[in-house]
Amino acid sequence: MRRVIAAQRTAAKARSGATAVEFAVVLPVILLMFLGAVELTNLNFIHHTAANAAYEGARAAMVAGGSSAQGIARAEQFLNRFGVGDGAEVTLTATSEAVTITVRVPMNHNSVGLSRFTTGLHVTQAVSLRRERR
């Protein structure tokens, strides 16, 4: 019985640093996957926020009595409310029949931690609504 216990202790001593080495190898992969998931979630949030901002701006501009300035201000207000307005561009094109708002949000200004890799990437959303009749 003592031989079995001694053999187990010897095997445990021989493997004492293996856990630390395995952890050191796996940790960067796990962190990369975690940061990637956070960044993709942030991208999805920005995508939906830009779409909603474009809709809100188009809605403010297309109602009777609404103006282009009101539509742009409403879209920018929506973006700023959710913290996505940093560096965002809002453009409005209006005709007698429809209003189109395009929201362009740069990813490197709104990245969680990987802004070096998102330079030059933008999320662009556009909404076109028919004007209300007066």
Q: Which DSSP string do the residues of 31-92 spell out, in sequence order?
A: HHHHHHHHHHHHHHHHHHHHHHHHHHHHHHHHSTT--HHHHHHHHHHHHHHTT--TT-EEEE
Q: Judge whether residue 1 has pLDDT over 80.
A: no
In this prediction, residue 109 has a pLDDT band, given cuts at 50, 70 and 90, of: confident
Q: Measured between alpha carbons, how far is 85 from 75 in angstroms, rounded to an integer?
A: 9
| Helix 68-81 vs helix 18-62: crossing angle, to nearest 10 | 160
Domains held by the chain: number = 1
Which range marks the domain in which residue 59 is found? 2-130
Mean pLDDT of 61-82: 92
CA nearest 71: which of 103, 33, 41, 115?
A: 103
pTM of the entire structure?
A: 0.77
CA nearest 80: which of 50, 36, 125, 108?
A: 50
pLDDT of residue 12: 62
pLDDT of residue 7: 62
The vertex-95 CA angle with 92 and 101, nearest 5°, equals: 20
Q: Judge whether residue 30 has pLDDT over 90.
A: yes
